[in-house]
Amino acid sequence: MRDRQEAARRAKELVAKMTLEEKAEQLRYDAPAIPRLGVPAYNWWNEALHGVARAGVATMFPQAIAMAAAFDTKLMKETGDVIATEGRAKYNEYSEQNDRDIYKGLTFWSPNVNIFRDPRWGRGHETYGEDPYLTGELGKAFVEGLQGDGKYLKAAACAKHFAVHSGPEALRHQFDAKATPKDMWETYLPAFEKLVKEAGVEAVMGAYNRTNGEPCCGSNTLIRDILRGRWKFEGHFVSDCWAIRDFHTQHMVTDTAEESAAMALKAGCDVNCGNTYLHMLKAYEQGLVTEEEITAAAERLFTTRFLLGLFDETEYDGIGLEKVECREHLALAERAAAESVVLLKNDGILPLHKKEIRTIGVVGPNANSRAALMGNYHGTASRYITVLEGIQDAVKDQARVYYSEGCHLFKDKVEDLSATADRISEAITVAKYSDVVIVCVGLDETLEGEEGDTGNSYASGDKTDLLLPKVQRDLLEAMAQTGKPLILINMTGSAMDLRFAQENCAAILQAWYPGAGGGKVIADILFGEISPSGKLPVTFYRDTEELPAFEDYSMKGRTYRYLTGEPLYPFGYGLTYGDIQLKSVFCNGSEVAKGGEIAGKPEEFSLKVLLANDGAIAQEEVVQVYIKADSPNAVPNGKLCGFVRTALQPGESGTVEIPLDRDAFTVVNDAGEKLTDASVFTVSVGFGQPDARTKALTGKECHQFTIRL
């Protein structure tokens, strides 16, 4: 393992040679060079949610929410490693030219492990979904891949946005997210804790909003007491961009920039993304901060730079441009897209058989859209394959492909001088000439994303409801009226109201934002080259009427763990073309029958699940384990506590092992205390949740039994 103690010693020695002004300047995200000490300039700001972002060409993976749908920790670790490799390649090449610009360093402000608690939140597609356990496991794997296990950090990961942050985007600069101790420790904090304690994440970023009255980037409770105190975090803390300015301009908890800078520094914020720390020396002159506090922050930052080997020769120095978007990396991105697509409905129409179809209609604003492939915080690909292009490439001359945009993504017309709905007649004509119609609808980063990031037309990046834009709903209704078989491909980063599609389409694919080559993968799924295997990392609600107010951060009525109504599509749900069956479950080596019981201690339990592929095709599946404690403090619907992805050939049997850690048997009480206060636990093992809706949609039941402590 890398030596933090030695890096800290070297950092302390170097910072001791700096003047007070030099130390204060190093707390900026765009830290200037100190030539007399041999310190080059360094820009701390870089992004890598699903590939190296905003610095030119890089392998573009599916957006984070899509990779979450793969339920694949191995994939996440490999993805992190690829991103670190490409980040090193870029850093090495740019540094050789003394290019120290933004987005060209090795401190990646990823992953986003906020909980996607409300489907209206525009930035939810940056996350790993609504479940704390899934988020923590995937985030941990991503961080481990990104940071590597070498002598030096391959790259530095950052867990964001700490903490209790998930919209509304329009209010984030003045909003106070109020969460009970139970919700804090049961939902909002566990993923951060796992990344700090188990993955050794090098950085943590604060959120814009306040949490229970304190601005997150200046919160003594979050940063000093929990992060550095309770969790013993040793890395550095960075503010979200211009969040510290909000202290005095929006939150009104300070009066001046100097007071805001002092509040953040004293709480433990080391790097200011923004410009408020330009006032740090004035804060010092006013007696608001001490030189020792400035020094401590600078030492933490240089510890990270030494851990990255930025002043040494490292094992990564030979990585060059040939590794960027190389064949192996593109293949991994394609695999990630293949694992992420979720089949929500199939009446038997899929997979399509090329020999049986002479004409295919492809309709919709996302059918030939590059933006719908990308998500936000993306890099640049050297080649994109849209859904239309993927289908055209797949059928070649075997079938005629007709295309119509159908409508604008959200405007009422495509051509400004035309009448409204100016592409509907073309779409209807395409359907008239087609044996089957593939309708590609959804959103992109201009409609769901970060406040102010892309000038989106909806509520500062959030959705006001779960409906597709009206022009797309009109298009879908027009296509349904043609009577032709419809396959819907929904490209969004969040749950949508797909009730009309469920009633009127023969098949539905949730494709998310699948990355630059996503169109090829979608075509491969449509034509049966790949069987879909993704599972929903979020609940698809029927509408927003069953949800609490967006501004309410209580978990009551939210996500699969607390939902009281019936979802349209449940968390963990996803169909396949194959037929993998769960044959038996063993607990601690003994087979447990459905309805059976086994006794033991929390740390002793391990499951082995026997599976068999009874279908005619190769198939991947995700085995999921849920536990419901017989306790008044338990989440009402149980919680995910284990999962594993596996692959089986036709006729093949195999086993997967899923350990149940001590946390699986804990609950959180109203005081925020984690405890085991029950002796009886219902365990459900299957390919989805043990709820009635999943059973109705899949036709499969979970294997349930009881564990008694």
DSSP state, residue 588: T
User: Three-state DSSP class for 62?
Assistant: coil
Nearest-angstrom CA–CA distance, 477 and 482: 9
DSSP state, residue 485: -
Give the number of other Cβ atoms within 10 Å of residue 552's Cβ: 15
- The separation between CA 190 and the C-alpha centre of its own chain, rounded to angstroms, equals 15
> Across the chain, which distance is largest between two alpha carbons, in Å?
79
Which among 192, 490, 485, 199 is positioned nearest to 340, based on CA atoms?
Answer: 490
Which one of the listed residues 131, 240, 270, 462 is annotated catalytic? 240
Structure tokens belonging to residue 360: 């295919």
- Which residue matches tokens 């009206």? 470
Nearest-angstrom CA–CA distance, 689 and 362: 34
Length of the chain: 709
Nearest-angstrom CA–CA distance, 117 and 129: 8
Please, what's the b/e burial string for 522-531 (b: 16 or more CB within 10 A of its CB; e: otherwise)? bbbbbbeebb
DSSP state, residue 226: I
Nearest-angstrom CA–CA distance, 160 and 555: 20
Nearest-angstrom CA–CA distance, 698 and 688: 9
Nearest-angstrom CA–CA distance, 487 and 342: 13
Asked about 246 being catalytic, the answer comes back as no
Which among 574, 507, 463 is positioned nearest to 69, based on CA atoms?
Answer: 574
Residue type (1 letter), 600: G
Structure tokens belonging to residue 123: 């930035």
Given strand 210-211, what is the order of strands in its sheet?
A: 176-177, 210-211, 214-215
- Which residue matches tokens 């391959």? 154
Residue 682's beta-bridge partner residues?
628, 706
- Which residue matches tokens 């891949």? 145
Nearest-angstrom CA–CA distance, 349 and 528: 11
User: Cα–Cα distances in Å, from 552 out to 95, 206, 548, 558?
Assistant: 46, 20, 7, 10
DSSP state, residue 409: S
User: Three-state DSSP class for 265?
Assistant: helix
- 94 in Cβ contact with 513 (< 8 Å): no
Contacts of 180 (CB under 8 A, 6+ apart): 554, 670, 672
Nearest-angstrom CA–CA distance, 381 and 378: 9
For residue 47, which phi and psi values (nearest 5 degrees)?
Answer: -130, 145
For 302-459, list the strands marked E by DSSP. 342-346, 359-363, 400-404, 436-442
Nearest-angstrom CA–CA distance, 73 and 624: 13
Residue 487's beta-bridge partner residues?
438, 507
Contacts of 581 (CB under 8 A, 6+ apart): 611, 612, 613, 614
Q: So which residues are the catalytic ones?
A: 240
